[in-house]
Each structure stands twice: as structure tokens, then as C-alpha cells.
Structure 1
Amino acid sequence: MSSTESGEIAELRRTVTELADRVRRLEATNEVRQLQFKYGYYLDKCLYQEVVDLYSEDGEVVFAGGIYRGRAGIERLYLHRFRERFTGGHNGPVRGFLLDHMIMQDVITIAPDGASARARMRCLMQAGVHESTPEQASRTQFEQWWEGGLYENRYVLEDGVWKIRRLGYTPFWHADYDAGWAHTPPLTNIIPKVTFPEDPLGPDELVDGFEFFPATEVVPFHYPHPVTGV
């Protein structure tokens, strides 16, 4: 074999390796995106157990000024706080309660080793209770409302399956449907003041400085600027 042929074979191998790596990254990106979208669909229908099962064993949730750690903390948030409040302990939708999450504008970064990932996504939610089910009204702050928030999440590949490692959800604003976001007071009452077990439904750790709109803090970006690299 000539040196030219050897060089061409080596170049072909490099190309195949590079393309295979790009395919793995594209597949991982799509799997992470679908994982987060499936999370939203489960949450829409109050399938809280299914949501919990999307997390890794050492997973955690950052939500509205609190950090819920491990499976116990995640279950405390979804099963004991959300499920008990919104569906009375029932795992699944209840008549008259609307909770639709639209997740979009995803920026997903796969780690070089392909075993973990990070993502930034936006969430817009419409929610409310129907007038035919007045018993649901006591479970919510408003009869119908909007919510806007941002995810900065981490994911991990465990035994070939992508799972949520850290869901960092920052709900920026809430808007009573009739009043709008300009006239809806911040929901400061849902920001935790104490941790578990002093608060049986509270987080394992508090996040200092968390505020709702009209505060407009920037949630740190997990990726560098695409032009400046900073």
C-alpha cells in the first residue's frame, strides 16, 4: 500500500469517527429534548408519579426559592405538595382543572463524554379551573391565570437512559387572566421561608434572593456567548 493510500484511509477513518460522534450528539440532543417535552406532558395531566420517575436517584429540583434534593425531596414536592393540593392526592387529571405547559426555545449542550447534558428552555403556562367545578377554586390562587418561566436543567445518562439530574425552574411571573401581569401582585406567599422538616412540605435548602416579577434578574446561561465565547 502506498503512502498516499494509507493517508487516504487514515483520513477516511477520521471522517467516519467524526461523523459518528456528530450523530451521537444529535441523537443525544433529540433524546434530551424529548425527555423534557415528555416531562411537560406528564405535568399537564397531573401525572406526578410519572414525573418523579423521570429523575435520577440523586436528582434535585430548584423551584421558586427552594431546592428539593434526592428522591425524598422530589416526592415531597410533586407527590405531597403539588398532587395533594391540585388533585387531592389523585395521580392524574381531575375534571375542571387546566394546567398546560408549553416548552420552547430549547438550547441543549451535550457534554464531550456524551454522558451528561444541560439545557435552557422557556415555559409558558395557561391554567385555571372551570366554573362548573367550583370545588377546584379553593386549590388555586386564581380562577384562570398565565405563568412564564425558564428552565436551566441538567441531565444524566444512566444505564443507557437519559434522566433529569437537576431541574432548575424559575417561574418569573404570574398573571391573573383578567388583571394581566402589570396588575397581578407577586406570589410571595409561595416562596418558602423555612426548610424541611420544620415545614413538612418545604425544600431541603432555601435559595437566597429569589423574587417574582417585577424583579427581572437574569438566570445564568449554561453556555458561552456564541460569538465572543464569554
Structure 2
Amino acid sequence: MTQQELEARVSTLEATIATLGARIRAVEDIEEIKKLMATYEDYLDSLQRLDELMALFTEDAKFVVSFAGDAGAEGVLLGTYEGKESIRRLLSQLNPTNLSYCAHLVTNAIITVDGEKAKGKWYLLCPFTALTPKGPVAVWEQGIYDNDFVKMDGKWMISLMRFDFNFSTPYEDGWAKTKMRGT
């Protein structure tokens, strides 16, 4: 092998290593974002880890809660919450005084990473038990998360969380009796 052939081979290998390194970083970023969302859901379901939950958001984060239908969202705090303190007030309502059980089940992750920024979409199905003056009520909620993330000091954080309800309905009624997106 000549010096020129050796240099060409080394150059090709270096380019391959750089490409593989970038692909590995992208996969690692996607997995870190999946873990971030799973951690968010876990803290939310614990009903008692508000400080840890808030540490997942940037200081200037925004949380937008909307409802696709026009029925079935009683008690849901729709609106835009800007900044950590506003988001804290929203999420602090998911506590053992208001709920006795909560399971945020997220699926179908679609994540795109662009350097230090990323977008992610998940479907949520959430059975929970609301504690009401009339007693416990089993509820189904379903909707879509469509979030923005930013990498700060090597760590992915939530910068914009959008949640759009498709339905929120008592278990006994089910979603067939509830107005949903597109109906």
C-alpha cells in the first residue's frame, strides 16, 4: 500500500467514524429525551415530587393546555402557563388531595433532533381517580403531547410543553359518549 493509498484509507475511516459518531449522538439524544418524558410522567404520577418535576423545565418554559372538543373537560385547567412558577401552580394541582391514582401512559414517540434543540410528539392515555365531594370518580383522559426541548449544559430540558386533550370522560361514560376531535 502506498503512502497516498494509506492516507486515503485513513481519511475514509475518519469520515466514517465522524458519521457514526454523529449518528450515535442522535440516537443518544433521542433516548435521553424519551427518558426525560418518562421521568416527567413518573414524577407526575407520584403526586408528590413537584420540585423534581419542575427541575425538568427551563426557567422560561411554557406549558400550553388545550382541548380539541367542546365537552368533557370539566375541571381541566386550559390555557397557557409561562415560566416555572406558573407551571408549578398548574402541576401542583395533581396531588393526593385531588387524586388518589394517576397513570400517564405515553406511546408512539416521534422525536426529531436538530443540534441543541429537539421536538417530540407522544400520545397519552391516562386513567386516574379524581377525589370529588361526591366521592372518587374514575376518569379516562387521552390527548397528544407536542413538545420542544433544549439541551443546556449537556442535559435535555423541556422548553415548551403542549398538551391537547382529545377527551376527558368518566370511566362509566367512556369516550364513545364524549365529543372528540373530528366528531
1:216 paired residue number: 182
Specify the alignment match of 2:83 in structure 1.
70
- Measured after TM superposition, the shift of residue 5 of structure 1 is 1.6
TM-score by length of 1: 0.68
- Provide the C-alpha distance between the structure 2 equivalents of 1:171 and 1:100, rounded to a whole number of angstroms: 16
* Number of corresponding residues: 170
Percent identical pairs in the alignment equals: 25
Structure with the higher strand share, 1 or 2: 2
Identify if the C-alpha distance between structure 1 residues 181 and 119 changes in structure 2 by more than 3 Å, giving closer, same or farther: same
User: Who is 2:132 aligned against?
Assistant: 137
Specify every segment of 5 or more residues in structure 1 that has no aligned partner in the other structure, as ranges. 89-93, 130-135, 185-212, 218-230
Q: Return closer, same or farther for 1:31/1:181 CA change in 2, 3 Å cut-off.
A: same
CA distance in 1, matches of 2:134, 2:157: 30
Compute the RMSD of aligned alpha carbons: 2.2
TM-superposed CA distance for 1:137, in Å, is: 2.2
Long gaps (5+) in structure 2? 67-77
Q: Normalized against structure 2, the TM-score is what?
A: 0.84
User: CA–CA distance in 1 between the matches of 2:134 and 2:182?
Assistant: 28
Displacement over 2 Å in runs of 4+? 47-50, 136-140, 213-217
- Of the three residues 87, 99, 120, the one matched with 2:96 is 87
Asked if 1:169 is matched to 2:171, the reply is no
Residue equivalent to 1:57: 59
Cα shift at 1:175: 2.3
Distance 2:134 2:24 in 1: 46
In 1: Cα distance, 2:145 partner to 2:181 partner: 17
Which letter maps to 1:119?
A: G
Written as runs of structure 1 = structure 2, the 5 A alignment for 1:175-194 is: 175-184=169-178
Deviations 1:141-168 (A, max 9, x none): x711111111110111111111111111
Give yes or no for the alignment of 1:25 onto 2:20: no
Residue 143 of structure 2: aligned partner: 149
